[in-house]
């Protein structure tokens, strides 16, 4: 595992250096509300260049990291855990086909913006990913997306620019599965994605009712 992570750290450094060049960002477009969508049971949404050559983070360590980061950002730890599950399967050496890295699948530009020096470090990845989720939930969800949870999650996975350009959840299979899978686990057994899900559900205002587990 150490050899794999070491090799991917070299790749990460090269990509991070390239990413420091100005990255074009699409201008925001008006966002329309999305309609509830039928969905099936969750499936993994991450798409790796190759199967990660490392084991998932051990459950006790993962729980400690998730709880600490969630508390620091005033997030529901269930959300942080589910994003990590969908993004990397809890594998710290995961690299997506688009170049996102680590447990929370942070792109090189995002790593720079969030001050991540080692994307393969589980603690840095979870803490940075939690900060990003908090920003999206407060700024994107409450302000830009008018309380639409599916759009906020889409922005985390595909980027706010793509969400704005699409005027809703982008027609990207990975992103649609990412959104539906997390919402399915947030509301198990409902069979429906609820774009209007209260922001309090994903912040630390929820008084139980969410299914946890590894």
Q: Are 83 and 134 spatial neighbours (Cβ–Cβ below 8 Å)?
A: no
CA 73 – CA 83 distance, rounded (Å): 15
CA 101 – CA 92 distance, rounded (Å): 8
Catalytic residue among 87, 113, 127, 174: 87
CA 202 – CA 165 distance, rounded (Å): 25
**Which tokens go with 136?**
């999206």
Q: Are 15 and 108 spatial neighbours (Cβ–Cβ below 8 Å)?
A: yes
Bridge partners, 96 (sequence order):
48
Instruction: State yes or no: is 73 an active-site residue.
Output: no
Query: Which residues belong to the active site?
Result: 87
């Amino acid at each position: 595992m150490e050899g794999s992570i070491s090799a991917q750290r070299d790749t990460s450094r090269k990509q991070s250096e390239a990413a420091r060049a100005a990255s074009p960002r699409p201008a925001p477009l008006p966002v329309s509300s999305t309609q509830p969508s039928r969905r099936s049971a969750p499936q993994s949404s991450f798409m790796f260049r190759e199967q990660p050559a490392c084991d998932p983070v051990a459950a006790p360590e993962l729980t400690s990291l998730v709880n600490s980061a969630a508390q620091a950002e005033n997030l529901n730890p269930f959300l942080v855990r589910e994003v990590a599950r969908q993004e990397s399967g809890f594998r710290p050496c995961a690299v997506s086909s688009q170049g996102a890295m680590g447990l929370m699948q942070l792109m090189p530009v995002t790593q720079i913006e969030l001050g991540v020096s080692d994307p393969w470090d589980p603690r840095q990845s979870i803490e940075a990913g939690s900060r990003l989720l908090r920003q999206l939930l407060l700024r994107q969800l409450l302000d830009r997306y008018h309380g639409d949870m599916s759009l906020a999650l889409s922005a985390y996975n595909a980027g706010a620019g793509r969400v704005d350009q699409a005027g809703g959840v982008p027609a990207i299979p990975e992103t649609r599965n990412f959104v539906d899978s997390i919402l399915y686990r947030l509301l198990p057994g409902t069979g429906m994605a609820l774009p209007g899900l209260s922001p309090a559900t994903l912040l630390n205002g929820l008084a139980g009712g969410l299914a946890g587990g590894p």
